Structure 1
């Protein structure tokens, strides 16, 4: 992977004559997230969208908007970025934290088997899209490594999570090979991702009318997911998920914002990554929990409470932790 551009000088058609203030860059990336979440909460509290808004928007994102966004992102992404020691360091941190969260959900808090994948995802699945892109642009000055992170999460981590969740829809909890093999066809997220990779590999371009239509649909993914997240925080009916105690949120937050970047840093040192790549790995590992965690939990009816609270808490606190990472390593 090539070295990341310096944080001063000319970039993308405009000039940076002074070093970036990481706190200002991060704040500008986080503010829209908080605003849209609050909009969803207030709209639901005032009864503007109805009681089923969170479920309806969640299904819209999962079945339509998110697949369109993933397809477009992967079809335009060169697959050559899906390699390298830096990606290995990030992958090690992701596997370690998700694995610990998956097991710890049962050992520490007695979570049911169907809730453990969401718990692990909340601990280690990073928000690489709507937060990752602006943060990588502002703090790192480059999004090439983030593209590799997106590929890793979509093509490796997401199928593992969805296969585990899909398994628990079987009343007997059986692992059915035929059902798992058909998951890419039945699951719009995996299907769209595979089609996007295929288009990228074959260098295919969509007709302009189709691409414009998908672009409009994809543009709704992030705002709809955040409004659904905010609406889910105000419930007039009991949640299907079990209550989430403060101890669980503390453990998830520590795993996501402290353990994952620390493991990524240690793995990067062990692999002797150059300083710019090490910074990219640690910053991406320190991104907060992705709102996809809530969308998946809502779609399968498990772990919704722990997912929406993990997204909010880690998103809020990561403003501080990512600024600290940028200051220490940047």
Structure 2
């Protein structure tokens, strides 16, 4: 819409300029005995219009960015600031934390696919991100509280305690924050088996991967040696759990591949059957060193 109005304004300017040039040409011709100097007047008429066209092309990205902010960001700001909508505040916090680049076509109709031009409509602004996250928290949005704590440089111990509490309330972002600070911790230390199973059943692939990894880690940490049937049951559970679901992110796929490399039937079986605790500890460390995918869905404001 803004581009259309700008185009109409340019047409009006061009018409007015052409009218002004014609009037000046007639006056000049009358004053100097009919001399028109057509070439000179052509330059006077065309050069400013060409300069105007150049400026418009250079302004296209800025106009498109303003149009996006006017249509999409300003309504969220109204909902957040005036209505104290926690979700709108959190969306804005994510927007200013990550920044936003969009594609647009020649008529500035926004679309999600590829386009000839891309423009950054929102630049990352850490201060704005923290402010909107705090407003989201004040409105009762749990993830907003976590984001405000993480981006606001909360002390590590305080942040870990806060994240653990939210994780136990099944706020998955809290689990991600806590586990990123304590990579040796198990998800099953904070959520019950039933809660993890419910997440897996709702197609949260990351929860399925955690469920299988934590079960194998518990088996490796157990003081007694498991039976062959327990080992086979664990390997089959991993195959039917962590590997049964198609990954949705690159991090999930990478975790599946690396855990599968660690959990080989021969390696796992021989290690578990050995009385040497150091072999178990070495395999456990390899397993816990695998980077795990995020449980919370990625926001895409």
- Provide TM-score, normalisation by structure 2: 0.21
> Which is higher, the Rg of structure 1 or of structure 2?
2
- Provide TM-score, normalisation by structure 1: 0.19
